[in-house]
Amino acid sequence: MLKSKVINQSNQVWAADITYVPMQKGFGYLLETVPHHAGDRVIMTWLNTDDLFTPNAFLTVAQFLADHPDESWVTGLPCLIREDGCIADLRLEDCGYARARLAKGEYDGRRLPPVMQEGTFWTLGLWRQVGGLNIDLRLAGDWDLWRRMARHARLINLRAVLAYHRRRSGQLSADMAKYWAELDALKQRNTAQPPALSGDRIALEGAWMAAWRTNLGQWVLSPMRYRRDGFLHCLSDCLVESWSKHAWGRAIIKAYRRLRGVAVD
């Protein structure tokens, strides 16, 4: 197909390798199918049997990561389809994921929405950094992978639908009680507190979105604040905003964040 094509620039030709691995129990991936000499910028993802990627999802992710070499992990807007394929729902609000909260495992579907498996992409380099999946987990392997990835990279939420999650009767994700039980059991086994993340406050606590701006001809990244519910959280936000104007207030805020496991430079 490419014999007569002149290739003289980057991002002109792409290659994809799809490995289908049927699994009767738990998560698994044959990492041996990825050549050992493959570069760290190889893009990885997964998809459950009856979920779907959207047209040009791979092109969109590949071009974004090519344009942003410092990023290694992206996801799209969660979109649901019915068992018959009809589009059922699209989540637009509160789609960003704060890195500090991801690392602590707070996006578990209870108070904060989970990161969807379908439509999430990462680089081989990031996969190697975290050691891949914990194949002993049957249900919460994705949650565990996300929190370990968050210790090395932030998750960029593209304002684009990259995949569809199909809802049908009898699927494993329908029984969230078992998912949370496995998740909580893993937390209890891993009681040692990991070292606090260190970095800029916005980089750690901001939920990063990326939107394509036609007038600029590029993706524009911007942080959004994660959702804060309740009177006490609103009061806390007001105090942070007013205290941060003073040196003594910034010192108190910094000490408090360190107690929460976020080290702010």
Q: Which two tokens stand for residue 123?
A: 């680089």
At 4 the pLDDT is 67
At 237 the pLDDT is 57
- Arithmetic mean of pLDDT, 12-32: 51
At 161 the pLDDT is 93
Using CA atoms, how far apart are residues 8 and 176, in angstroms rounded to an integer?
A: 50
- Domain limits of the chain? 31-198, 228-265
Question: What helix, strand, coil percent values describe the chain, rounded to 5?
Answer: 30, 20, 50
At 79-88, the pLDDT tens digits run 988 888 898 8
At 223 the pLDDT is 79
Longest dimension (CA), the chain: 68
- Cβ proximity of 85 and 98 under 8 Å: no
The topology under which CATH files domain 31-198 is: Spore Coat Polysaccharide Biosynthesis Protein SpsA; Chain A (3.90.550)
Q: Which two tokens stand for residue 85?
A: 């394929």
- Arithmetic mean of pLDDT, 190-200: 69
- Arithmetic mean of pLDDT, 10-33: 52
31 has which bridge partners?
none
Using CA atoms, how far apart are residues 196 and 206, in angstroms rounded to an integer?
A: 16
> What letter represents residue 191's amino acid?
T
Please classify residue 251 by burial: count the beta carbons closer than 10 Å to its beta carbon, then call 0-12 exposed, 13-18 middle and 19+ buried: exposed
Q: Give residue for tokens 């990031």.
A: 126
- Cβ proximity of 100 and 155 under 8 Å: no
Does residue 189 or residue 172 have the better pLDDT?
A: 189
The pLDDT of residue 3 is above 70? no
**Which sign, positive or negative, has the C-alpha torsion 62, 63, 64, 66?**
positive
Q: What are phi and psi of 194, to 5 degrees?
A: -70, 160
At 116-141, the pLDDT tens digits run 989 999 999 999 999 888 888 888 88
What is the rounded average pLDDT for all residues in the chain?
Answer: 78
Share of residues in the chain with pLDDT > 70 (%): 68
DSSP 189: H
CB atoms within 10 A of CB 225: 13
